[in-house]
Chains A and B, each alone.
Chain A
Amino acid sequence: MNIWNPVRITWLHRANPVVKLFLVCSLFLMTVLTHDIDFVAYQALIFMLCLLALSGVRTWKMLLFFIPFLLAFISSSSSMMLFGKGDTVWWEWGLFKVSKESFYRGLHLGFKGIAFACEGLLLVTTTSSVDLFYSLMQKLKLAPKYAYSFMASIRLLPMVWEEYVIRRQALKVRGVVPIRGVRGAVNRAGMYVVPLLAQSIRRAHRVAAAMEAKRFDGDRGRRRTYFYPSRYSRYDLLTIALLAAAAYGAYAAAGHFPWFGIGDVRFD
């Protein structure tokens, strides 16, 4: 299931998924712990550029994916702007109170959201689930039963969708007339959820029995071989260097060319 369909293969595609996971987690940590609005704004900008350059996805397609970022920016920043704590009140109307502090904190949250999204997409656009689980098993010693359960379930999911379609057709053939309103919605949900879940449980159980018979659970025998071997390569070092440079670039830019220059946005 790859909806990204990259047109170029970049360094990031060639790096080991485990290395990418660690890198992205450390970038996440950096962004979580950033309370300086300039630094976060530059992080959002620079990782957006990294994403355009490194994801290998067509630029216009990636730009389309940026549209929801804008909506998220507005929704995550507006709540804090309108209801946040602050002393220098700019505007007050009923329950709304926009202060200087809450306004900038709202902006900060908007940028932060974009930075998180870009960092996450750096991993997601360049790594398939199968590659990730294989290297988690080999490099981080994740027990095979977890990895194979995830991989098998991902393959089973489209069948659940198929069953949903069949169920809908069956209800139509039987002439079930949908009831309007909230009651109808609850009633309809019940008509779908129970059979779909019951069937998923049955199917998952059958597949699992077959997999256990084939020793996919890896409970016995420490040594096993893998169809896709996962190795480290020089691309790991290149990727680490590149993203570290990007993070440092954001830090340096925030120090030299601050846009807001107000420092910490937290209220205390």
Chain B
Amino acid sequence: MGAQPRKGLRLSDILVTVLVSLVLGVVYHFWGSVYNLLKPLFFEADELLYGMWFAAATLAYLLIRKPGVAIIAEVAAAHVEVLFGSGWGLTLLMYGLIQGLGAELVFAATRYRSSSAFTVALAGAAAAVGSMLLDFFYSYTDDLQTWMFLAKYGMRIFSGAVIAGLLMLVLAKALERTGVTSLLRPASQKDYEALDDSRHV
């Protein structure tokens, strides 16, 4: 029998997480202009697109189901803004950290075992709640009128569940079909048995 897969994050896990998140970070960067398109539609309708900014956390978790991946992914994706020289880079890093933490807590609650649509959608919503908490400090959104407050964050949480949750699940399934994800999973019992199979000689 082969060696037991080592627990915890290995360099390859982190590198894959970070690179995938940086790619999503570039998407985040350009998502800003899509987001601004919806701005004039009606008040805060842009919040319906907000969920894209939590996508790295859930996608990275769906690829590599290990503790800490969601947080690293969100921080890495936010780091792209620093590379692009945005003034809000560091602020966004803090948002990344707390959004990643929100998603991470949901995954931790399932002990990193579940990847059902419900769990992933919940993680996207939890990331939205994380960003809401930081908004209180950064922009006093708790001082908005109540209907506005509910509309804004209702839409954001919904969007987190749909875009970061369900859409990323579809994307992860599509990636699964390409076969690359098999690189990321530790060799299973079945793989070792296949080696012993005489027909494969």
Contact = CB atoms under 8 A, between A and B. Distances in A.
Interface in A65-80: 65, 68-69, 72, 75-76, 79-80
Interface string A214-236: 00110000000000000000000
Interface stretch (B76-84, B99-107, B108-116): B76-84
A199 to B, nearest CB: 8
Interface string A88-116: 00000001010000100100010011001
Contacts of A4: 85
B143 to A, nearest CB: 5
Interface string B21-58: 01100100000000000010001100000000000000
Interface string B1-36: 000000001111011111110110010000000000
Contacts of A176: none
Interface string A24-58: 10001000100000000000000000000000000
A3 to B, nearest CB: 5
B50 to A, nearest CB: 14
A257 interface: no
Contacts of B175: 194, 197-198, 201
A32 B87 contact: no
A190 interface: yes
A153 B60 CA distance: 15
Interface in A194-212: 194-198, 200-205, 207-209, 211-212
A204 B140 contact: no
B11 A121 contact: no
B10 A212 contact: yes
B12 A85 contact: no
Given A68-B87, A83-B144, A212-B10, A201 B18 contact: no
Nearest to B149: A83
Contact of A201 (B84, B89, B180): B180
A207 B39 CA distance: 41
A238 interface: no
Contact of A109 (B139, B148, B180): B139
Given A205-B16, A266-B140, A217 B11 contact: yes
A76 B139 contact: yes
A124 B89 contact: yes
B15 A204 contact: yes
A267 interface: yes
A248 interface: no
Contacts, number: 165
A157 interface: yes
Nearest to B174: A194
B183 interface: yes
B189 interface: no
A99 B144 CA distance: 12
For A24, A204, A205, A217, the residue with the greatest tally of chain B CB atoms inside 10 Å of its CB is A204
Contact of A209 (B12, B22, B82): B12
Contact of A120 (B20, B88, B145, B178): B88
Chief secondary structure at chain A's binding surface: helix
A32 to B, nearest CB: 5
Contact of B15 (A116, A117, A153): A153
A72 B23 CA distance: 25
Interface stretch (A7-15, A142-150, A166-174, A239-247): A142-150
Contacts of A124: 82, 85, 87, 89-90
B72 interface: yes
Contacts of B180: 198, 201-202
Contacts of A196: 23
B83 A211 contact: no
A20 B124 CA distance: 33
A120 B90 contact: yes
17 contacts: A32-B137, A65-B87, A84-B144, A112-B139, A117-B88, A117-B91, A125-B85, A145-B10, A145-B11, A146-B14, A157-B23, A157-B83, A201-B20, A202-B183, A204-B18, A207-B15, A209-B12
Interface of B: 9-12, 14-20, 22-23, 26, 39, 43-44, 63, 72, 76, 79, 82-85, 87-91, 94, 137-140, 143-145, 148, 171, 174-175, 178, 180-181, 183-184
Given A119-B90, A212-B12, A216-B11, 5 more contacts: A4-B85, A69-B87, A120-B87, A150-B76, A204-B15
